[in-house]
Amino acid sequence: MRRRTRALALVVGAAVAAPLAACAGSGSGTPVLTWYINPDDGGQAEIAKQCTESAEGQYVIETSLLPRDASAQREQLARRLAAKDPSIDLMSLDPPFIPEMAEPGFLAPVPEDVASRVSENVVAGALAGATWGDELVTVPFWANTQLLWYRKSVAEAAGLDPAAAPVTWDQIITAAQDQDKLLGVQGTKAESLTVWINALVASAGGTIIENPEAPADEITLGLESPAGEAAATIMGTIGESGGVGGPGLPTEDEGASLSIFQGDRGSFMVNWPFVWSATKAGVEDGTFEQSLLDDIGWALYPQVTEDQQTAPPYGGINLGVGAFSEHVDLAYEAAECIVTPEHQAQYFATNGNPPSNTEAYDDPAVSEAFPMADVIRESLEIAVPRPQTPYYNEVSSGLQQTWHPPSAVTPEVTPTESTDLITAVLRGEQLL
Amino acid sequence: MSTASTGAGAVKQQVPSGARPDLRDDAAKAGRSDRAKAEARLGWLLAGPAFVVMLAVTLYPILQAFYDSLFHFRLTAPDDRRWAGLSNYAVVLSDPIFWQALGVTVFITVVTVVIELVLGFALALVMHRAITQLRGLLRTAILVPYGIITVVSAFAWFYAFAIDSGYINHWFDWVPGISADLNWFAQQGTSLFVIILSEIWKTTPFISLLLLAGLSQVPTELEEAAEVDGATWWQRLTRVVLPNMKAAIMVAVLFRALDAFRIFDNVFIMTNGANGTEVLSLLAYRTSIGRLEIGLGSAISVLLFLCVILICWIAVKLFKVDLAGGARGAS
């Protein structure tokens, strides 16, 4: 009985002492860096662990999870930074939101030596996405791009070989129509719709914003142009009732596109590379036949016209250092560790997020996991970021409001309507 | 849940004060005795801390929102904060987006409250009359939808009706107009239908429990007397039961209308305001939190608050819902 009491006392004592000891540890020595990460398959947490180990007691990186949705991540970070939250040492930032964070000084300036080291061998699209006002304001981490994924059987029946020569939107629309198939595109009223609009406009040689660095009330849009009209024509054609977009188009996101593509009516799809690892995993667990995986081909994003090179979407994550962090120097040291080509290759192979550093593509693990790694790299070199402006949210939401549902998009009305709305909103004359 | 408990309490307090007006009048005429004064003082002492906390968490943010609404203020441009006067209100009130959101909000409020009132009353009658032995168990069971977090129930309804993963299109493809190709969340009508259905499923139990509390306060002698006089079931319901539980009905309508007017979760999850389904709370959220336009967003929030006050005023003044009458009568 006495022994049991003593054991109980020991347990209680340990329970009380352990948290105190932990407090003493963190308070007395090693600085703890908090890295706000977007949800993934555990890749960022693993890199944080590895960098903590290689720092040999200089710092400890702890991860803190942001919401799943990109715009919700932005909301949380912007609100915390506006309140001068010192707990944000490092943050995983979606590129379109970087100007909004950089403009009011929410990001600690990147030291020159760090900037030159982390820019080495980085693909052009990723470098452009990490820059604001001609200065590197974040550290490029991983870079994403959309490819054209196609069912080889459908392309063959249409006499197309997208891997050999670029294909146009008109060609894939006709091919899908002729074979009563559906195209996989993202028509839901969300950020993915902006991604599609931007890629269409840029592929037609235009830009959504002509002067992205101008103040809100001086911003001019480039949608009322042949490029804007071409983009609206393509989207309207796909959205037509009974058309190749299918009835699910107004609510179709990336996951829904993949489901359609994997189904019997799948034909062509524009989507991020996660679709490959997801389908492969589906084959491994028996959900899909191996023949589905064998039937999938990939190529560069479709062109709007035959003579104009495509401008694929650019996405990914860059690392920002909080301006109110108490350990800015250490945070940049940690950021350099996180983005080494080895870590980027490891992250691509395990989590499916492509590296921004070209060196990482030479890693054998990368080509084994993603046979299309070379096409991804090529796509990243010509990818065009979404409008880089501190008012990106207004621009993106305004586009979503006027270009949704795709069935209502027309070249005569939509570009003008969206220009009027976004301009009025930026001038503070209208709600969004 | 707090509204539920408040509502039930208010119903209970209504009936005695209505049944014995003489007591209240006498007390008022006689003036307050020492004991009554001491009790009132004790009441203030007991309720005082809660009252102060309530002021801190409700009045302060309301005043702050009103103050913020008088400025052009964007969270990511803290240095550009400038006086706007009432111009934010002018922008909001002159914008068709606001009026459309208000229209959708009112539509959802009216439809859900009317349907829930009828359904809730039917459920309350069943619980009150038909199944007396299982009343406790039934009350618990019927509360299950109300106990589910709205976001969770919104997702459940969304996935049930989704065109790719939902089962509704397959189960009901024999109904004219429903087929595997019906995308419920692609048009305004069908989107609002699912949103309203989900609201009704979730909050009818709340109304039915409030009405059950009212039903159980109707004196059985009155009904028996009417029955002896030869009144039919319908006559007893409309002439005896309903007039005697008018206070309970009005409290249920008021609480539920206020709740429905602030609808957010279902719309946010199911359509995020697409296809003309935007409601006022979502508009306020997207402006304040999404666009980080604190001034403009606060103006919408203040207008939303004024609408809520208006609903309360209409209920209290026009329909004579006396929320504090019972409490005053008792003291």
Mean residue pLDDT across chain A? 90
The reply to whether A226 falls in a domain is yes
In this structure, how many other beta carbons lie within 10 angstroms of the beta carbon of residue A254? Answer: 21
Dump strand ranges (E) for A152-272: 182-184, 266-271
A78, A247, A397 member nearest B76 (Cβ): A78
To probe the interface with A, which of B69, B71, B76 has the most A CB atoms within 10 Å?
Answer: B76
B64 shares contact with chain A (CB less than 8 Å): no
What residues of chain A lie within 8 A of the CB of B276, using their CB? none
Q: What value does the mean pLDDT take over residues A405-421? A: 95
Task: Assign A108 a pLDDT band (cuts: 50, 70, 90).
Answer: very high
| φ and ψ at residue A36, rounded to 5 degrees | -80, 115
- What's the distance, Cα to Cα, between the start and end of chain A in Å? 71
Contacts of B289 in chain A (CB under 8 A): 75, 79
Claim to verify: residue A170 and residue A300 sit in the same structural domain: yes
How many helices (H) and strands (E) chain A has is answered by 19, 11
Residues of A in contact with B304 (CB under 8 A): none
Q: What is the CATH number of the domain that holds B81?
A: 1.10.3720.10
Measured distance CA(A49)–CA(A39) in Å, rounded: 16
Q: For residue B133, with 0-12 CB atoms within 10 Å meaning exposed, 13-18 middle and 19 or more buried, which class applies?
A: exposed
Please give the pLDDT value at position A214: 87
Of A82, A104, A189, the CB nearest to B274: A189
pLDDT confidence of residue A71: 86
Local confidence band at B4 (pLDDT 50, 70, 90 cut-offs)? very low
Where does residue A224 rank: exposed (0-12), middle (13-18), buried (19+ CB within 10 A)? middle
Q: Are residues A309 and A332 in the same domain?
A: no
- Residue of A392, A388, A354, A391 lying closest to A374 (CA atoms): A354
* pLDDT at position B18: 40
Range of the domain at B204: 2-31+69-330
Q: Is residue B267 part of a domain?
A: yes
Per the structure, how many domains does chain A have? 2
The per-residue pLDDT of chain B, averaged, comes to: 85
pLDDT of residue A196: 97
**pLDDT for residue B13:** 37
- Evaluate whether residue A2 is within a structural domain: no
What's the whole-model pTM score? 0.84
Is A160 inside any structural domain?
Answer: yes
Of A3-17, A138-152, B153-167, B317-331, minimum mean pLDDT range: A3-17
Contacts of A248 in chain B (CB under 8 A): 163-164, 183
Q: Beta strand B71-72 with A135-136: parallel, antiparallel or unpaired? A: unpaired
Q: Are A223 and A327 contained in the same domain?
A: no
CB contact under 8 Å between B164 and A71, yes or no, is no
Whether the predicted pLDDT of B331 surpasses 80: no
Retrieve residue A271's tokens: 């989507």
pLDDT confidence band for B303 (50 / 70 / 90)? very high
The CATH number assigned to the domain holding A347 equals: 3.40.190.10
Identify the pLDDT of residue A28: 54
Shared domain check, A393 and A261? yes
Task: Answer yes or no: do A432 and B286 touch at CB < 8 A.
Answer: yes
Q: Which residues of A touch B72 (CB under 8 A)?
A: 428
**B190 vs A: CB within 8 A:** no
- Give the pLDDT band of residue B323 (cuts 50, 70, 90): low
Tens of pLDDT, residues A263-291 = 999 999 999 999 998 999 999 999 999 99
Chain B CA closest to residue A73: B290
In-domain check, residue B91 = yes
Does residue B45 lie within any of the structural domains? Answer: no
The answer to whether residue A79 neighbours chain B at the CB level (below 8 Å) is yes
A8 occurs within a structural domain:
no
- Helix residue spans in A240-351 (DSSP H): 254-262, 274-284, 290-294, 328-338, 341-351
CB contact under 8 A, A247 and B78: no
* Residue A72 at interface with chain B, using a CB cutoff of 8 Å: no
Residue A21 lies in a domain: no
Per-residue pLDDT, A351: 87
Which chain B residues are Cβ-neighbours of A390 within 8 angstroms? 76-77
Asked if B162's CB is within 8 angstroms of A251's CB, the reply is: yes
A401 & A376 share domain:
no
Q: Please indicate, yes or no, whether residues A74 and A221 belong to a single structural domain of this protein.
A: no
- Domain co-membership, A55 together with A131: yes
Asked which of A104-108, B5-9, B93-97 is least confident by mean pLDDT, the reply is: B5-9
| Rounded percentage of chain B residues whose pLDDT exceeds 90 | 54
A290 and A398 in a common domain: yes
Quick check: is B52 in a domain? no
Query: Is B6 part of a structural domain of the chain?
Result: yes
Query: Residue A340's domain spans which residues?
Result: 32-137+315-382
Q: Is residue A432 part of a domain?
A: no
Measured between beta carbons, the chain A residues lying within 8 angstroms of B290 are 71, 75, 393, 397
Same domain for A322 and A305: no
The number of folded domains in chain B is 1
Q: Does B314 fall in a domain?
A: yes
Report DSSP letters for A5-56, one per residue. Answer: HHHHHHHHHHHHHHHHHHHHHHHHSPPEEEEEE---SSHHHHHHHHHHHHTT
**In sequence order, what E strands does chain B have?**
71-72, 82-83
Mean pLDDT for B221-248 is 88
**Where do we find the tokens 């909000």?**
B105
Instruction: Kindly state whether residues A152 and A294 are assigned to the same domain.
Output: yes
Task: Answer yes or no: is pLDDT of A225 > 90.
Answer: yes
Determine whether the interchain pair A390/B76 forms a contact, defined as Cβ–Cβ distance below 8 Å: yes
Per-residue pLDDT reduced to its tens digit, A297-348: 999 999 999 999 999 999 999 999 999 999 999 999 999 999 999 999 999 8
Please check whether residues A133 and A260 belong to one and the same domain.
no
Nearest to B202 by CA among B163, B152, B254, B261: B152
User: Does a structural domain hold residue B231?
Assistant: yes
Residue B49 lies inside a defined structural domain of this protein: no
The answer, for B100 touching chain A at a CB cutoff of 8 Å, is no
Is pLDDT at B134 greater than 90 in this prediction?
A: no
Q: Does B72 touch chain A (CB under 8 A)?
A: yes
Residues A163 and A53 in one domain: no
- What pLDDT, on the 0 to 100 scale, is given for residue A170? 95
| Closest by Cα among A131, A83, A405, A40 to A252 | A405
Q: Does A178 have pLDDT greater than 70?
A: yes
